[in-house]
Structure 1
Amino acid sequence: MGGPAGISISQQERRAAAAGLMQVVQQLAEQGESILSVLMGACAQPREYQHFPADDARGKGYRYFYHGHADMPRHWGEHGHFHLFAEPDPGRLTHLVGLSVDARGMPVRAFTTNRWVTDEQWAPADQVLARLRQFDTRASQASPLVSRWLQCAVILFWPRLRRIIAARDTRLAAMAAGGSRPNLLEDRRMHVLTATRLSLADEVLDLDAQAA
């Protein structure tokens, strides 16, 4: 499949990303930490929608923050989630993907959101994927380990992320063709548009099976 929507990542890159992600987890665990403790510090009871880092992490045209809120899907075991953005110009944000983690800081879900949720500058799936492929916040003042964790997660779970981002546009196009809901991007009844379960262990097993 050609074009940005067909951007693929090699199995070798994904295996390297899996190793990198596990290395970050192990390094933090040896220090008695996780990505959540690094992000949240001593904040044991964060406020709903409170951002971590407080001013977001920004670098090289990208931004992310972590937060949680009461209406999250608890059946996923979700503690909270990262929102990843492209920011080619200051304040001009395009939401790329959401990545949810459990209380241990392990990935459990990826999802896409409607435009109104983050008040983003909407972009079609091919542009979102092209930007997500280059996601990099290492130049930010935030933890380099969290930045590396996010970069590795994007690469490792790329096939799943690509599917839900493409499915987001497919779903909206089908609904627009039906004509029953005008102005879909601002429809408050539509929050999360597509989602998929994530499991580091399962993804590594799948990569090993494909390499066998």
Structure 2
Amino acid sequence: MIDLELLPQEELEALSDAGREVMLCTRVLAKTGDTMVGELLRGAGPFYEWRHYPSNDVYDPEYHAQYYYHAHPPEERVDGEHGHFHTFLRPLGMPEGVKPLDLPDLKPDPDGNDALCHLVGISMDKAGRPIRLFTTNRWVTGETWYAAADAVRMLDGFVIDHARPSWPLNRWITALMRLYRPLVVQLLQQRDATIAQWQQDHPDTNAYEDRALEVTSEAYVSVEEHISRVELAMRRLRRRQREKRGVA
């Protein structure tokens, strides 16, 4: 568990703001009995395993962030999971100086915006609540591989700032990425460590394409508990600041 009280004040305040945004979007939908997943599936007809929802993904042409939702067969889902979001950033939205890892099978990117990076997966339960964050091996999403340090630099660029397929959903997933940023950083670092160890243990395989390695890091989450921890860390920070100024 990440010690939130060790975070700088600016970052802690950003988490707190993101938590309020997440809860606002959740509350607005709950008033009409809706959920984040329901926003995607409304009017989509029968829900099919593996199909992307929406069919052409959600993409913001200004920030070049992208996501979709889908589900695996029941036997491949974690307990309580309905499906999960996959989140990405495309090259035109990446910070300056970021480049793919120079692997032997690195594919060219003719139009300069295809070499997308998978950031994190977000598992959702049947009630439409996040229950797990996870990272995946390269073959899972067909991404281009970027080192964790570069992927971390991309996190603040994940912004979906339009109203389709749902304004509350787009605001929610943008804020959720902010709320869990410290954990996603940790998961991306663990992802690289897992890949490196796998390659060492299986020297005759291409670790990035090995179907035996799918999930490279994961953490189960509770949004409400996490927001409570953020707010507790904020209260303790303010108390320390008052004590430092000599204010009771």
Q: How does the TM-score come out when normalised to structure 1? A: 0.89
CA distance in 1, matches of 2:134, 2:160: 20
| Alignment partner, residue 4 of structure 1 | none
User: 2:197 matched to 1:174?
Assistant: yes
- Structure-to-structure mapping, 1:8-157, within 5 angstroms: 10-43=11-44, 45-59=46-60, 60-70=63-73, 71-75=75-79, 77-88=80-91, 89-139=112-162, 141-157=164-180
Distance apart, 1:192 and its partner CA = 0.8
- Rounded to whole Å, the distance in 2 between the matches of 1:54 and 1:108 is 24
What is the CA distance between 1:143 and its match in structure 2? 1.6
SS of residue in 2 equivalent to 1:79: strand
Distance in 2 (alpha carbons) for counterparts of 1:168 and 1:34: 30
5+ residue gaps in structure 2? 1-6, 92-111, 237-248
More divergent stretch after superposition (113-122 vs 88-97): 88-97
Q: Which has the larger radius of gyration?
A: 2
SS at match of 2:184: helix
Coordinate RMSD, CA, aligned:
2.0
Whether 1:160 aligns to 2:161 is no
CA distance in 2 between counterparts of 1:140 and 1:94 reads 23
Paired with 1:72 and 1:201, the residues of 2 have a C-alpha distance of 26
The structure with more strand, counted as a fraction of residues: 1
Secondary structure in 1 aligned to 2:47?
A: coil
For the 8 Å contact 2:26–2:35, the answer to whether it is kept is yes
1:202 maps to which residue?
225
Q: Secondary structure at the match of 2:116?
A: strand
Where 2:132 maps in the other structure, the secondary structure is strand
Cα distance in 2 for partners of 1:30, 1:209 equals 27
Structure 1: gaps of 5 or more residues: 1-6
Q: In 2 relative to 1, CA 171–103 (structure 1 residues): closer, same or farther, beyond 3 Å?
A: same
Q: Is contact 1:58-1:139 (8 Å) kept?
A: no
Shift of 1:208: 2.7
TM score, norm. by length of structure 2: 0.77
Identity %: 29
